[in-house]
């Protein structure tokens, strides 16, 4: 099973540590194409391989993926674009969102929360997501192996 994980890069790297934790969990279910998104050393300036290369490579990965899991709390044009492509290609899309509270209340774009082919899961800590991942991605790899 192949999972494409999407998280903000030029949209801001403040949640990079959280992306790392999510990628760690997703690796229990399958191969994560984009584990570098959780790398704290990847800044907004990032890999210097050229934007056309990044775009074409990432879309090829997304096309080959079985699922898209996106962290959508920090608004990112690239993540929104990837969600649009994945829904157009009929891929299951799970969006993870931390609504915040009080003064920090955040609202998710209606283009994501209003999209009927996207599942939005609100959460506060990645540790809460195990059930969500099991419902969306099925049983973890280790449990699958034990059954066979
Ligand atoms: O608009 P954003 O940069 O926040 O878009 C982030 C999304 O686009 C992520 O989910 C990635 O899949 C994709 N993406 C954007 N830039 C990159 C990248 N290096 N490497 C991999 N995926 C990317 C770019 C570094 C760059 C800042 C030079």
Number of the ligand 1 atom closest to the C-alpha atom of 7: 10
- Single out the residue of 57, 55, 18 nearest to residue 38, CA to CA: 18
- Cβ–ligand 1 distance for 76 under 6 Å, the answer yes
Nearest C-alpha neighbor of 120 from the set 144, 100, 97: 97
So what's the pLDDT on residue 47?
A: 60
58 lines ligand 1 (CB under 6 A): yes
Q: Is 80 in the pocket of ligand 1 (CB under 6 A)?
A: no
Considering only residues 105 and 121, tell me which one the structure prediction assigns the higher pLDDT.
121
Angle at 98 between CA 30 and CA 70, to 5 degrees: 35
Q: Which residue(s) pair with 69 in the sheet?
A: 5, 94
Query: pLDDT class for 100, splitting at 50, 70, 90?
Result: confident
* Band of residue 141 on the pLDDT scale cut at 50, 70, 90: confident
CA 39, CA 54: separation in Å to the nearest integer?
16
Q: Rounded CA gap, 26 and 108, in Å?
A: 23
- The reported pLDDT for the residue numbered 6 is 97
Q: Residues 66-98: pLDDT tens digits?
A: 999 999 999 999 999 999 999 999 999 999 999
Phi, psi of 2 (to 5 degrees): -115, 130
From the CA of 59, how far away is ligand 1's center (Å)?
11
| pLDDT, tens only, 34-47 | 888 888 777 766 56
What secondary structure letter does DSSP report for 102?
G
- What is the number of the ligand 1 atom nearest to the C-alpha of 48? 28
Beta-bridge partners for 97: 122
Statement: residue 48 has pLDDT above 70 = no
**Which strand ranges, in their side-by-side order, compose the sheet holding 67-71?**
31-32, 2-6, 67-71, 93-97, 118-122
Between 65 and 43, the higher pLDDT residue: 65
Cβ-based neighbour number of residue 129 at 10 Å: 19
């Amino acid at each position: 099973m192949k999972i494409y994980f999407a998280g903000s890069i030029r949209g801001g790297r403040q949640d990079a540590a959280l992306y790392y934790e999510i990628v760690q969990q997703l690796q229990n279910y399958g191969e994560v194409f984009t584990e570098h998104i959780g790398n704290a050393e990847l800044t907004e300036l990032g890999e210097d391989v050229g934007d056309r290369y990044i775009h074409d490579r990432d879309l090829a990965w997304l096309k080959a993926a079985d699922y898209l899991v996106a962290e959508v709390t920090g608004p990112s044009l690239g993540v929104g674009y990837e969600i649009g492509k994945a829904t157009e290609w009929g891929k299951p899309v799970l969006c993870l969102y931390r609504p915040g509270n009080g003064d920090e209340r955040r609202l998710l774009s209606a283009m994501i929360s209003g999209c009927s082919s996207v599942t939005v899961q609100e959460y506060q800590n990645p540790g809460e997501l195990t059930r969500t991942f099991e419902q969306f991605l099925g049983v973890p790899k280790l449990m699958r192996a034990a059954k066979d």
